[in-house]
Structures are given as C-alpha cells and as structure tokens.
Chain A
C-alpha cells in the first residue's frame, strides 16, 4: 500500500492514464487534455490505497527479451491448445501441479502467474496465502517435475533477474 496525502500519489500512473486517454480519443484538443488530466488526478486519488509499491526494473534489456519470449510462447501455446481441443482422441492428461515459488515480491508473483496463464497448457489457479506456492492446472503434462523446471528456467529466473536481484 502506498501512503501519501499529496495530489499525485502515483505520478507514473497519472501520466500513464493521461497518455492512454489521449491515445484512446485520438485527439490532442485542449478539452481532451482537461478531461484526461481530471481523470489522471481523480483515479489515483480514489485507488491509491489498493496499490502496492512496484519494484523498479533493474535490467530493461532483459525485460524486452522476456516480453518477446512470452509473445512467442503465446503463439505456440495457442497451437497446442487448439490441437488438444480439436484432437478427436482426447489424449489430454490434466494435472494439478504445486509450483514452489522463488520470487518474493507480490508484483513479480503476479507477473509470473499471468505469464503462466497465457503460456502453453497451464492456468494458474491459486496463490497460497503464505505466498510460497502457486497451484497450476495443466492441460496436458507428461512429467510435472519437467514442467516446474521449465517454468523456473524460462520465466521465473528472468523475472527475478529483472526485478529482484
């Protein structure tokens, strides 16, 4: 939670909101600046209590590589899931996997859970209250150890390098 009593509790969010508003209306008119500015001030003031302090990006180059890798994996994931759905023999082997988390910050855990949901055959189902394990439902898995190892090497270690080290 961010504790602040200033007019702009989260300056980056305000800037982002203004830019997104201007991009959405596709106009740079003065009135749109005024409306977007009002929203950019009002929304953070109403919601800053729900915000966690976000860790800073320590290695932007790695983040870019991570985003590209996830985009590539999303395409692969889609073909895999499409094939599983269309396959008439239904050879899917669903599996609940307990994934032991190495990450500690809540923001990075959220990123990891979202990545897991978007990438091949896995949906993150539950984050345990202690923040130590993530419950993952996998659609078709041969070996759960291999799946855990794959997520660890492909997603969690880069995230840890980008944000926490």
Chain B
C-alpha cells in the first residue's frame, strides 16, 4: 500500500469521526433533559468534531499543497477561546432567569433559590415555575 492510500484512510477516518462527534453534540441538545445539561453537548462534542475536521484539513492541504498550514490552527485557537466563554454566559443567563432543572440534580445553588428575591422559601428540589419574567408584565391598569 502506498503512502497516499494510508493518508487518505486517516483523513477519511478523521472526517467521519468529526462528523460523528458534531452529530452527537447536536443530538445532546435534543436528547438531554434540562437546559444546564444541554449545555454540555455543544461545548465539548462540537469542539471535538470541529477539531477532527480541522486536523483532517491540515493533513490534506499540508501534504497535497505542501504548504505550512496555519489557518486551521487559528480556527482551533479561536474556537477554544470562544466556546467556554459562550457556554459560561449561557449558563449565567439560565441561572439569572432561574430556568428549571431536572429533579435528580443535586446541589442547590444560591442563584436558583427563591429566598434571594424575597419570596417564600422553597423545599430542596426543582423550583416551581415562576411564570413570565416580571419585566414583561404590564401594570393591570393599562
């Protein structure tokens, strides 16, 4: 077997693995039960999926064009910087809106406790649905 056949096999495997990981990450968005768990899919599996695709691209263009490849490294760098930050902001927004989470979740962060906003204390577990956010409510007189 020649060198190029093996190289093609490796590149194909990487592309398939990348596609599979990206798909699993997206599946997690639909499949997992609550907002905080859904965050895990796109931050990790998608990063890996794009990583595999980028490595395949580096191999292909690095050897086919025999040029140094830098753009893929830059893309990976930007991805690794931005993915955690966006996940953190999404999680923070979720906490701020006090989104519901599944009952089996352990730990009860202060951000999700109703006492914080001066209402009656809730028992340990998932907080009750608070209905629409108060900002959206119009005064009844108008």
Which residues 1-58 in B have Cβ within 8 Å of A in the complex?
21, 24-25, 27-28, 31-34, 36-37, 39-41, 43-45, 47-48, 51
A118 touches B43 (CB 8 A): yes
**Given contacts A78-B48, A137-B36, are A23 and B21 in contact (CB under 8 A)?**
no
Q: B92 contacts which chain A residues (CB < 8 A)?
A: 125-126
A82 at the interface (CB under 8 A from B): yes
Q: B109 contacts which chain A residues (CB < 8 A)?
A: 96, 98, 125-126, 135
A24 at the interface (CB under 8 A from B): yes
In angstroms, how far is the closest chain A Cβ from the Cβ of B90?
Answer: 9
**Given contacts A77-B44, A123-B43, A124-B88, are A118 and B80 in contact (CB under 8 A)?**
yes
Query: B104 is contacted by which of A93, A126, A137 (Cβ under 8 Å)?
Result: A93
A14 to B21, alpha carbons, bound, how many Å? 36
**Given contacts A23-B71, A118-B83, A125-B95, are A94 and B37 in contact (CB under 8 A)?**
yes
A86 at the interface (CB under 8 A from B): yes
In angstroms, how far is the closest chain A Cβ from the Cβ of B109?
Answer: 5
Q: A144 contacts which chain B residues (CB < 8 A)?
A: 106-107
A85 at the interface (CB under 8 A from B): yes
**Given contacts A95-B106, A117-B84, A126-B109, are A85 and B48 in contact (CB under 8 A)?**
no
A96 touches B105 (CB 8 A): yes
In angstroms, how far is the closest chain A Cβ from the Cβ of B61?
Answer: 11
A137 touches B39 (CB 8 A): yes
In angstroms, how far is the closest chain B Cβ from the Cβ of A83?
Answer: 9
Q: B111 contacts which chain A residues (CB < 8 A)?
A: 126, 135
Chain A residues close to B by CB (< 8 Å): 20, 23-24, 26, 74-75, 77-78, 81-82, 84-86, 90, 92-98, 113-118, 121, 123-126, 135, 137, 139, 144
Chain B residues close to A by CB (< 8 Å): 21, 24-25, 27-28, 31-34, 36-37, 39-41, 43-45, 47-48, 51, 70-71, 74, 80-81, 83-85, 87-88, 91-92, 94-95, 101-102, 104-109, 111-112
